[in-house]
Structure 1
């Protein structure tokens, strides 16, 4: 696509009004835009000027490209009425902003002046999901947003009091199976259906009562029908009977409405009580499971302590046995060496040495051997 034409590329047949000249290029406007301070420029001229300085080229007031707005319709109409020589018609047709061009992405026909805006909303273009960072077609972005596993969502039972909020994948993998409101979802559905039915019935009864009240007000405000004196007095019995019937119907409807309201309040109270009972039951089950887990944990801890004590006792017995055997062996070797060197003191005195028996006490010394 060719770039937009510049104002200097056109030659006009008639003299151009000075109010239609751009303050930057001093040529008639091409795609005019206006600033908040009231000055009008060509779009290309304003973009080029603001790229070097963020101020209005006329009064130097602060100005940015985002603040530029399309010029007033009267200015655009006056510019479009300017005539150029017929020789420039072919060039104008190629560069006319109202000409149709085909989008290379979605193959739809778009006006030449709208092609840039179409690029930001083209259904065939690709956008990146802000949650999962996956490239998605713009036309399918809404559907993807409703099923994206990385998107943040609230629990479907948020209207019933569940405060959970997190990733969609965590809802299906973790929260859905543990949500206490999911177990009584059917109860909520039935409750909502009954509530809708009662609401519709209530609205119908209110509408009927309103119609009856309107009819009664009309009858009360209606002027009396003039009756000529020559005629018999009007028959008021039928009117009185009808009024009495209407009042009776109104009282009956009012009583039915009060009964419905009372039943609705009682139903709401029963539902609240049922919900509280179910919540208490679930809480008790959670406490029971927690107590069972603590008991199992305590048994495992006692079992580990018993195993540790048993292992420590076995090790101590093995060490004592080895030590006793070592001491017994060293005592035997020492006795043999002493017997070969010199006789004991009791042998020198002519008394026989008594054998030492483990576990018995010496009667002379009282020492347990």
Structure 2
């Protein structure tokens, strides 16, 4: 019984960003962030179009538009007009399995269904019941290649799919060295290839520019007088420095792209690849870089002016705060002086009252004593002087 069509559906995923296009897409259909044709295009409040995934990732890093650096958040991003989505989906692409042999080309919106249902080079499950192996769709109707068979030489179990590869490694089989034509067992052949004296190899300094190549047995004579080998330590040092500078330039370029994402450069038209077009393209690239540099410098100047303005405002606020604190201090000092004056006035009044009372008590005591002396001499009153003094004190 033949397998159903649904069981032949491929589980192979398609990366839309890795597709190859029949013609170069228009620059208006490229995402300013990934510089690839738009995928699920969205539009910002400032009317710029991006891939949905690209702008989401960009907004997680900075809440500004990657093109004009204006403030932007997720609420300002909406789906792009359907016309833009139709334009990018109608672009003609090659099948992602073209390296395996598929020559089909179709619109981008059809490529996933082509790979899932029709591509003869897409991977599908093996048609044999109970087998979980994967094969190409064009081989699905053949016998199962995942079954194990016995090797006719070493009698070991080998999958049918790997039988040819096994013959090249089977320990019971021998093969000829393609350099010296001597026969060796497969396990020994791999070790022999590393030391075969008849193998033609390049000079050890070939990656530095030496073009000499000879048999391994004759290479030692060349190494004794090769100038590139003598300069290898210096050339290696320069190579390491260049790699370090390239890494630094790459990091600086990434930071620059975050600040000012590069715009897509103009693509030359077909049939116009002469020297004049090359020079004009070079001038365009130079002008683009000058524009980016000027834009970055203007952004830097604007940020610096903003910082200076904020510093001036902070200094002005500090002066105002000092004046307010000084005024409040003067007011508090005046209030404290008034309180001190009132306390001093109360203190003086209290002293006057106490002194006045003391004078009244002293004067009353003196008058009472005089009257009691006079009364005792005149009338012979038998009261003592201490009694009259007590009465004065009670009064």
Regarding TM over 0.5, the answer is: no
Taking structure 1 as the reference length, what is the TM-score of the superposition? 0.30
Q: Relative contact order (C-alpha < 8 Å, sep 6+): which is higher?
A: 2
Taking structure 2 as the reference length, what is the TM-score of the superposition? 0.28
